[in-house]
């Protein structure tokens, strides 16, 4: 077998530069990925040249917040269409306060979106807000309005606003165009004999044997000793994360009783099957998931226990995990910071960085992507905390977005990813599931929407489902029943895994001895037959913009 160059694709980040003009595909407008996290002296031009609110006057809307009447800027719109995804953006500035969180909301004659986008606006400069909404049915009138998050009286200025509608077909076409651009590459095989003579009419069979995009799921100790479950998992996924087994309460339920037997065995399963594993998590700021004995420690005792935990865990698993979720859900909780000081999480990251320098360090948080109604975890707050850690000397490597969804908002998902992409860090969806308040068919429909939106975004570098199987079910969403028969969500995952793989490509070389194919990034087996001669090669297709060429001799 001839072995060609192998390349690894884990953690590279793809970034689209800002666009100042709107292009239109034959099928409709091309989505504009532009975003900004800067506060600028002047606003940029509106996306899509303003879309359907170009030259639309900005009015005022009276609202009542905690019994306080306020007037807020508002767009009054007529005759919005149903079955439409609307992207919204604007630049916002305030006066009367140094900074505040501004929320955009939508009210129509038949629906309300309490939040379709947020931005932390400042005095004296313009900040970029990006979001959107989906209308399932048409509306005769609608209000898009801006409000600050508290009762403080201040003035809100809005500039360069844009509202661009997309039909579902147009939205899906944009997704597929980006998949073709960011997840695939043209390949050209040149077939010749040992003297360099090009061989016309050689038969070529190209088969993808693995994908380079990390797509996986959580696993629990229930996978140990369960061969059918192990085989089911390994046939589908190239990445995994331990649901609970690496967390402090699992590895040290009592002080000094550290036991890594279970996670060691789970790691062995992953390594046997060439499955990449994330490290989740070192600490968790939520006191409910902090060991009970830890919650009762004095600050000096806690500092000692924290030091022992991180040294023990990192030394035991150095170079084993590609990522570490260092201090989980820091935007919502602050158990360690309350007891050890504001710099506690910074010190956690610094210690992890020194202990395992080859692993990428992630912030991991929920409700950044799922909604903009959670005031603790807006996209700007995530960016701010990430930058704060960087200013403290931590080399931040990745953005972890949990993704515990109810009904997903595709326009908001893409807008949040656009803003985070400006940081040029790998973005992973780390714990994707759909609430079990929905029936299984609806779960599957929403899961497909989330996965397509995530895979098609060029800055997303990995997707992890939160679907570890237990005898009593899963956290929120299962892919199979206990007999490993697919549920609707499992059918969606299997269909997408098949769709996002090149599969088998067959054909013959042309008059120049060349054979061309377009393939997803990953590793391929290539078999070439000419007369009574056969050769087998292994090649890898990695990210790149130019056509990748290989020479194969028989």
Instruction: Supply the DSSP symbol for 288.
Output: G
**Backbone φ/ψ region at 11: left (φ over 0), alpha (ψ -120 to 50), beta:** left
**Backbone φ/ψ region at 470: left (φ over 0), alpha (ψ -120 to 50), beta:** beta
549 vs 551: CA distance, rounded Å = 7
130 closest CA partner among 120, 142, 140: 120
What residues contact 425, with CB distance under 8 A and at least 6 apart? Answer: 13, 386, 396, 397, 398, 399
Q: Is the peptide bond before 232 cis (omega within 30 degrees of 0)?
A: no
In this structure, what token pair is assigned to residue 370? 């799922």
92 vs 43: CA distance, rounded Å = 8
In this structure, what token pair is assigned to residue 203? 């038969």
512 vs 515: CA distance, rounded Å = 9
Instruction: Supply the DSSP symbol for 221.
Output: G
Q: Which of 245, 370, 402, 431 is catalytic?
A: 431
Task: List for the chain the helix, strand, coil content (%; round to 5).
Answer: 25, 35, 35
131 vs 108: CA distance, rounded Å = 17
Which residue matches tokens 């005759």?
A: 79
In this structure, what token pair is assigned to residue 300? 């000096």
User: Active-site residue 337, yes or no?
Assistant: no
473 vs 466: CA distance, rounded Å = 12
* Other Cβ atoms closer than 10 A to 21: 10
Distances (CA, A) of 321 to 34, 267, 342: 33, 9, 27
285 vs 244: CA distance, rounded Å = 15
Which residue matches tokens 């508002």?
A: 74
Q: Which of 329, 365, 448, 453 is catalytic?
A: 329
Supply the DSSP string of 489-531, one letter for each residue.
HHHHHHHHHHHTS--EEEEE--TTSEEEEEEESEEEEEEEEET
In this structure, what token pair is assigned to residue 446? 């929403």
In this structure, what token pair is assigned to residue 328? 């989980």
411 closest CA partner among 184, 61, 162: 162
453 vs 490: CA distance, rounded Å = 18
User: Active-site residue 329, yes or no?
Assistant: yes
| Under 8 Å between Cβ of 181 and 240 | no
So which residues are the catalytic ones? 329, 431
């Amino acid at each position: 077998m001839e072995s060609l160059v192998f390349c690894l694709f884990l953690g590279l980040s793809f970034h689209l530069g800002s666009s100042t003009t709107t292009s239109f595909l034959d099928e409709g407008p091309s989505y504009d990925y532009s975003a900004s996290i800067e506060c600028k002296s002047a606003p940029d031009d509106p996306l899509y040249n303003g879309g359907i609110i170009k030259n639309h006057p900005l009015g005022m809307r009276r609202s009542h917040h905690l019994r306080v009447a306020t007037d807020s800027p508002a767009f009054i719109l007529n005759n919005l269409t149903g079955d439409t995804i609307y992207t919204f953006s604007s630049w916002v500035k305030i006066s009367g306060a140094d900074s505040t969180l501004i929320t955009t909301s939508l009210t129509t004659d038949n629906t309300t979106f309490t939040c379709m986008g947020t931005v932390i606006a400042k005095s004296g400069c313009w900040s970029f807000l990006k979001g959107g909404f989906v209308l399932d049915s048409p509306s005769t009138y609608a209000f898009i309005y801006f409000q600050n998050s508290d009762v403080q009286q201040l003035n809100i200025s809005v500039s360069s606003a844009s509202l661009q509608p997309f039909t579902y077909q147009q939205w899906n076409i944009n997704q597929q165009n980006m998949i073709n651009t960011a997840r695939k590459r043209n390949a050209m095989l040149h077939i010749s004999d040992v003297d360099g003579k090009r061989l016309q009419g050689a038969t070529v069979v190209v088969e993808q044997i693995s994908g380079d995009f990390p797509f996986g799921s959580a696993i629990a100790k229930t996978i140990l000793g369960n061969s059918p479950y192990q085989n089911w998992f390994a046939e589908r996924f190239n990445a995994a994360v331990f649901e609970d087994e690496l967390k402090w309460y699992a590895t040290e339920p009592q002080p000094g009783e550290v036991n890594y037997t279970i996670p060691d065995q789970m790691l062995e399963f992953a390594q046997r099957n060439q499955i990449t594993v994330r490290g989740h998590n070192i600490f968790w700021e939520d006191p409910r998931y902090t060991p009970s004995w830890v919650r009762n420690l004095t600050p000096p005792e806690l500092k000692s226990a924290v030091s022992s935990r991180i040294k023990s865990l990192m030394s035991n698993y150095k170079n084993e995990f590609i990522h570490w979720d260092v201090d989980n859900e820091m935007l919502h909780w602050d158990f360690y910071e309350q007891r050890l000081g504001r710099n506690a999480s910074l010190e956690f990251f610094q210690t992890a960085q020194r202990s395992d320098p080859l692993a990428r360090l992630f912030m991991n948080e929920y409700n950044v992507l799922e909604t903009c109604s959670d005031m603790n975890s807006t996209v700007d707050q995530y960016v701010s905390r990430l930058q704060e850690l960087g200013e403290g000397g931590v080399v931040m490597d990745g953005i972890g977005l949990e993704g515990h969804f109810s009904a997903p908002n595709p326009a908001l998902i893409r807008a949040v990813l656009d803003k985070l992409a400006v940081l040029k860090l790998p973005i992973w969806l780390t714990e994707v599931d759909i609430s079990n308040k929905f029936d299984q068919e609806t779960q599957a429909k929403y899961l497909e929407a989330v996965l397509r939106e995530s895979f098609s975004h060029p800055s997303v570098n990995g997707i992890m489902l939160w679907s570890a199987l237990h005898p009593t079910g899963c956290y929120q969403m299962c892919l199979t029943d206990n007999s490993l028969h697919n549920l609707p969500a499992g059918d969606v995952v299997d269909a997408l895994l098949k769709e996002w793989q090149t599969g088998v490509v067959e054909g013959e070389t042309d008059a120049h001895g060349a054979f061309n194919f377009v393939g997803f990034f990953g590793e391929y087996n290539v078999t070439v037959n000419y007369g009574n001669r056969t050769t087998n090669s292994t090649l890898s297709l990695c990210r790149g913009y130019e056509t990748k060429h290989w020479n194969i001799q028989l």
